[in-house]
Amino acid sequence: MTNTTYLPFSFHTTPGIIFECGVTRRLGKIVSPRLGNRILSVTDPGLRKIGLAEGALEALEEAGVAVTVFDEVEADPSRATLMKAVEAGRAAGVSGVVGLGGGSSLDVAKLAALLLGSGEDLDEAWGVAMAKGPRLPLALVPTTAGTGSEVTPVSIITVGEEEKRGVSSPVILPDIAVLDPELTVGLPPAITAATGIDAMVHAIEAYASKSPNNNPLSRMLAREALRLLGANIERAVSDGRDIEARGAMLLGAMLAGQAFANSPVAAVHALAYPIGGTFHVPHGLSNALVLPHVLRFNAPDAAHLYAEIACHAFPHLARDEGNQALCAAFIEELAALSRKLGLPTRLREVKIGEEHLETMARDAMKQTRLLVNNPREVSEADALAIYRAAW
């Protein structure tokens, strides 16, 4: 690997991170000194229905916090949903925001805090480093081990029918991330599997990113993330109450989030977005469907990078093999992992017709902020070939 240790880089992350089983029961005492006593809680109806959000809400109220609950966040949240959350916070005059849930709820919470704190025009905040702030004080509490959103400066919102747009700015990094493995215990096996693969993708793409900000901290975090995720994902899927495996997955996802927050992801995510945006396939599964095919495409330029991380995710792989052989084995292990976890492995299995592939390839090429980080340049013809391989 090219030695970039001494090249200039910047590294931003959430300033306060708390990891502890059951810590949610002290959430109010933890966040109220920073967020104030009028808090907007952003979550989704599913968490409310199964009661997973109630402990956090009770902890806030026990600390004397007046809580305004916005629980209408859907998968791939829309701009309309975001603005409803902002209106709810504005009407209540909130002093801070708590996001509780998966990546969708955390993404809405980030931008709600931004818009409530600054009043800036969302259309001027899209893109990289365009959000100016300030934002309201913000705490994020993930309930899935996948997105790492609690430590990333990125929020993705669906605009119109299908287009996904992102805000990427250190301004929307939260003040506090609260990681409680107990909140992930009820996650169904399929979601555990898909979100876990998503976290592995974050680490892999961060490590191999062509971004000029690829840095030694991100690479170190990516390696440790893959060690934790690779060793625990099958345990977490097979026994959802294995709190040790759940904790390792949550920590691994957070470390992968810190890695890609500073060394951005690339073509796997770019090709996953049309799958999620058009066909409403969950984000983690969208990544899993194209992952081995993108890595095979990248291998001519990135085999040495994938070889370097192969044994962190899969320690049984032979370290003394050459880069090409170790890279190929790594990719096959990732493909086999999806099968072992019971995930769909072909686009046709999620009801995507072959006739849609050309449109998806065109749409993927719009993700220029991601494609620029890929270790091998991707053309529209390349994207189509990858989709065909995945179909």
Instruction: Kindly state the percentage of the chain with pLDDT values over 90.
Output: 89
DSSP string, 99-167: EEESHHHHHHHHHHHHHHHH---GGGT-EES--------EEEEESSSS--GGG-SEEEEEETTTEEEEE
Q: Which two tokens stand for residue 285?
A: 């599964």
Q: What are the backbone dihedrals phi and psi of residue 265, each rounded to the nearest 5 degrees, phi first?
A: -70, 175
What tens digit of pLDDT does each residue of 35-52 get? 999 999 999 999 998 888
137 close to 96: Cβ distance less than 8 angstroms? yes
Q: How far is CA 368 from CA 173, 217, 265, in A?
A: 23, 25, 11
Mean pLDDT score, 2-19: 84
Q: Which two tokens stand for residue 259?
A: 């890695």
Q: What is the mean pLDDT of the chain?
A: 95
Mean pLDDT score, 333-355: 97
Q: Is the confidence at residue 3, as pLDDT, over 60?
A: no
Rounded CA-CA distance 114/109 in Å is: 9
* Residue appearing with tokens 């976290």: 199
Residues 6+ apart with CB under 8 A from 49: none
Count of beta carbons in the 10 Å neighbourhood of residue 346: 11
56 close to 24: Cβ distance less than 8 angstroms? yes
What is the 8-class DSSP label of residue 78?
B
Partnered with residue 97 across adjacent β-strands are 40, 138
Cα angle 167, 65, 135; round to 5? 20
pLDDT classification of 1: cutoffs 50, 70, 90:
very low
What are the chain's domains?
16-183 (3.40.50.1970), 187-390 (1.20.1090.10)
What tens digit of pLDDT does each residue of 55-98 get? 999 999 999 999 999 999 998 899 999 999 999 999 999 999 99
What is the 8-class DSSP label of residue 168?
E
What is the 8-class DSSP label of residue 188?
-
What tens digit of pLDDT does each residue of 108-165 get? 999 999 999 999 999 999 988 999 999 999 999 999 999 999 999 999 998 877 677 8
What tens digit of pLDDT does each residue of 245-277 get? 999 999 999 999 999 999 999 999 999 999 988
Candidates 189, 28, 180; CA nearest to 101 is: 180
Cα 48 to chain center, whole Å? 22
Q: Which two tokens stand for residue 345?
A: 């492995």
Range name among 2-11, 157-166, 196-205, 241-250 with the lowest pLDDT average: 2-11
What is the 8-class DSSP label of residue 265?
-
Instruction: Kindly state the percentage of the chain with pLDDT values over 70.
Output: 98
Cα 87 to chain center, whole Å? 26
Cα angle 262, 263, 269; round to 5? 115
Q: Decide: helix, strand or coil at residue 315.
A: coil
